[in-house]
Structure 1
């Protein structure tokens, strides 16, 4: 699907939209895909419905789609609890996630293989009041955790193959330890730290 650029509607849709029972959406290696759903953002909810049952989205290796992430409007998916983003390269991203990008319904967020990310946006993460699990894997340029503490709802944090973070989050003597000491389960480099 590397050459797939856009969605195509080939049949009529009703009041409920297309795929009203969809619970999981995975988009893998669609390097040229330019929208999360077909149509212009303002038409997508009308055309596709609000996906009332959509619980998880996984996007892997979709560079153009990720570059246009501000048009995703994830807040319209009121049942969305899990978001996995892997190999979403955008050399302009130094700070992630942007404010308002992620819905407050998320309970699980995984950020994997982000080559260019240097900082996490603490203000944006604080808005994720339901977030319970955060996984950060192979984000080698990520220098530190945000100054704001991670959301108080967070009960699991995984950091793997992030050399700067791993060093800064070492129990008790790491520079960022005080930012995560409220999280009950922390896994760094494969080692569980139970608090």
Structure 2
């Protein structure tokens, strides 16, 4: 396993039950992906990987689109890890029942962690 190519524009993780969350921070150097615009994550085994990425603030500053799907047990997103997702950015959440419930009222600390993102889509509803 080694670092990903710095010119990578799209990267996705789906159903990677054997992938260790610690390897994401140790080996991938996601912050060094200066061209990464879109990152998708979902399915079995991805919950802990996303939490690691957000907690350790490993998403690159170039990221414009974050798509999260099929993570039914994920209840919230670490706002520190989403601070780089700002102007002209898009957050999509689908088939994540606990996460959808957390953000349905658009209030509280959890909502404040993502409210700076210009476009948020939860399932088929565009929120902002």
TM-score normalised per structure 1: 0.50
**How much does 1:130 deviate?**
5.0
The answer (yes or no) to whether the contact 2:55–2:80 under 8 Å persists in 1 is: no
Contact 1:125 1:151 in 2 (8 A): no
Q: 2:72 aligns with which of 107, 112, 115?
A: 115
Contact 1:89 1:116 in 2 (8 A): no
Counterpart Cα distance in 1 of 2:55 and 2:88: 16
Cα deviation for residue 63 of structure 1 reads 1.8
Between 1 and 2, higher relative CO (CA 8 Å, sep ≥ 6) is seen in 2
When the two chains are superposed, the root-mean-square deviation of aligned CA atoms in Å is 2.9
Q: How does 1:103-142 map to 2 (within 5 A)?
A: 103-130=60-87, 132-142=89-99
Paired positions, count: 118
Larger radius of gyration: 1
Paired position in structure 2 for 1:183: none
Q: 2 CA distance for matches of 1:150 and 1:86?
A: 18
**Alignment of structure 1 residues 169-188 onto 2, 5 Å:** 187-188=124-125
Tell me the secondary structure at the aligned position of residue 158 of structure 1. Answer: strand
Specify which structure has the higher proportion of helix: 2
The residue aligned with 2:102 is 144
Poorly superposed stretches of 4+, deviation over 4 Å: 90-96
Deviation at 1:90, TM superposition (A): 5.5
| TM-score, with structure 2 as normaliser | 0.72
Range 95-104 or range 133-142, more displaced: 95-104
